[in-house]
Amino acid sequence: MTMGGKFGFSKLKGDLDYPIWAMRAESYLICEGLIESLDDIVSTQSLLEGQGTQYLPMPPTDPKLDIKGLATLRLIVEDGPLSQIRNSKTLGNAWVTLKTVYDRGVFTLVDKFLNLQYCTGKMSKFLSEIRYIATALEMKEVKLPLIIINSWLLSKLPPSFEGFKAAVYNSMRTQEKPFSLETLSSMVLNEAKRQGAAAASAKKASQPSYKGKGDASSSEEERAYLTKVKKEWRKAKGRSCTHCRRPGHKASSCFILYPALKPVKPVKVEKKKAGKKEERRSTRDEREEAQVALSVAVDQLTADVRALREVNW
């Protein structure tokens, strides 16, 4: 996982990326002013001949600066390496612990390089591990010849790469200089992608296509077979009319042969809408109010006429 923020480089994951990470981590600690050089926190002691070098942590000269350096170191490692230095009290102790665990020796790296195997579908990971090991060996001043690395890489490829390997071997014979590891890795990765695309296309082509009964691409034999099966099923069930050849009824009840048997569809009565009901109700109410007003007016007129008659008489 690439770190964001101010670090700008990958965290330590394991032994494969330790050599490059160690260079960047040392440079970062120096740039931050936490150390002047790696000798401030680690001392080396030569062992007996053939036994290599021993690394020892140095006591901190500035405890506050050392605590800050230890905290910074914990931020630039992944969870696995972080668990290795969880009990470290000084920056030097944490650095020596990481170097002891993840800085592999030359023989260990060579053994891992020779025993590296390709896993199906993981070509990118396989090539990345080869580049990491080659870089780690170069950091230890052990540089394998390119012709050996290229030949070993090609020998580990699966059988599907036989044609590709033959073409590469022919090119290697005609060229004065062998391919670089980056160039050969790019060629292998492109061939793996090409084979993957070809396999996907072949798998898609081999899958059967399911056609519907109305599909124009269906063959005449398929349609004839389906029609025959349906007709036999209808005849067996007695659901085919011998007059109109339609399913669902017999000739004795065929509407085409006997039109009188066709039922008369009932006239649909339109449902009254709620709006019309309200309109009719309001009209009825207005009519009743008009009748009441008319009755009152007639009664008043009758009373006036009676009063006039009494006065004249």
Q: What is the DSSP string of the chain?
A: -B--TT--SBPB-SSTTHHHHHHHHHHHHHHTTS-SSGGGTEEEEE-STTS-EEEEEPPPSSHHHHHHHHHHHHHTB-HHHHHHTTT--SHHHHHHHHHHHH---HHHHHHHHHT----TT-HHHHHHHHHHHHHHHHHTT----HHHHHHHHHHTS-GGGHHHHHHHHHHHHH-SSPPPHHHHHHHHHHHHHHHHHHHHHHHHHHSPPP--TT-TTS-HHHHHHHHHHHHHHHHHHT-B-TTT--BTS-GGG-TTT-GGGSPPPPPPPPPPPHHHHHHHHHHHHHHHHHHHHHHHHHHHHHHHHHHHHHHH-
The residue among 185, 202, 219 that closes a domain is 202
Is the pLDDT assigned to residue 295 strictly greater than 80?
A: no
Is the pLDDT assigned to residue 80 strictly greater than 50?
A: yes
Is the pLDDT assigned to residue 71 strictly greater than 90?
A: yes
Q: Are residue 132 and residue 80 in the same domain, yes or no? A: no
Quick one: which of 19, 16, 199 has its CA closest to 125?
16
How much of the chain, in percent, has pLDDT values that exceed 90?
12
Q: Is residue 8 part of a domain?
A: no
Q: Is residue 110 part of a domain?
A: yes
**pLDDT confidence tier of residue 70, bands split at 50, 70 and 90:** very high
Determine which of 130-139, 246-255, 290-299 has the lowest per-residue pLDDT on average.
290-299
Is the pLDDT assigned to residue 111 strictly greater than 60?
A: yes
Q: Are residue 61 and residue 130 in the same domain, yes or no? A: no
**pLDDT confidence tier of residue 65, bands split at 50, 70 and 90:** very high
Is the pLDDT assigned to residue 213 strictly greater than 60?
A: no
Q: Are residue 123 and residue 96 in the same domain, yes or no? A: no
Q: Is residue 82 part of a domain?
A: yes
Q: Are residue 73 and residue 123 in the same domain, yes or no? A: no
The residue among 151, 167, 202 that closes a domain is 202
Q: Are residue 81 and residue 112 in the same domain, yes or no? A: no
Q: Are residue 98 and residue 183 in the same domain, yes or no? A: no
What whole-number distance in Å separates Cα of residue 139 and Cα of residue 20?
Answer: 8
Q: Are residue 98 and residue 112 in the same domain, yes or no? A: no
Model pLDDT, residue 3: 44
Q: Are residue 114 and residue 197 in the same domain, yes or no? A: yes
Model pLDDT, residue 227: 52
The residue among 202, 229, 246 that closes a domain is 202
What mean pLDDT do residues 45-69 have?
Answer: 78
What whole-number distance in Å separates Cα of residue 42 and Cα of residue 59?
Answer: 9
141-173 exposure pattern, b = at least 16 Cβ within 10 A, e = fewer: eeeeebeebbeebbeebeeebeebbeebeeebe
Q: How many domains does one find in the chain?
A: 2
Q: Are residue 86 and residue 118 in the same domain, yes or no? A: no
What whole-number distance in Å separates Cα of residue 28 and Cα of residue 307?
Answer: 124
Is the pLDDT assigned to residue 139 strictly greater than 60?
A: yes
Q: Is residue 197 part of a domain?
A: yes
Q: Is residue 127 part of a domain?
A: yes
Q: Is residue 301 part of a domain?
A: no
Q: Is residue 250 part of a domain?
A: no
Is the pLDDT assigned to residue 194 strictly greater than 80?
A: yes
Model pLDDT, residue 303: 75
Q: Are residue 85 and residue 163 in the same domain, yes or no? A: no
Is the pLDDT assigned to residue 305 strictly greater than 70?
A: no
Q: Which residue shows structure tokens 């790696």? A: 38
Cα of 56 vs its chain's centroid, Å: 47
List the Cα angle 59/77/106 in 5-degree steps.
80
Q: Is residue 157 part of a domain?
A: yes
Contact 139, 170 (CB under 8 A): no
Cα of 34 vs its chain's centroid, Å: 42
Whole domain around residue 81: which residue ranges? 18-102
Q: Are residue 98 and residue 114 in the same domain, yes or no? A: no
Is the pLDDT assigned to residue 154 strictly greater than 60?
A: yes
110-116: long-range pairs with CB below 8 Å, 24+: 110/137, 110/142, 113/137, 113/144, 113/152, 114/152, 116/156
Q: Are residue 85 and residue 160 in the same domain, yes or no? A: no
List the Cα angle 61/64/70 in 5-degree steps.
90
Per-range mean pLDDT, top range of 60-74, 102-116, 201-215? 60-74
Is the pLDDT assigned to residue 1 strictly greater than 50?
A: no
Answer whether 0.75 is exceeded by the pTM.
no
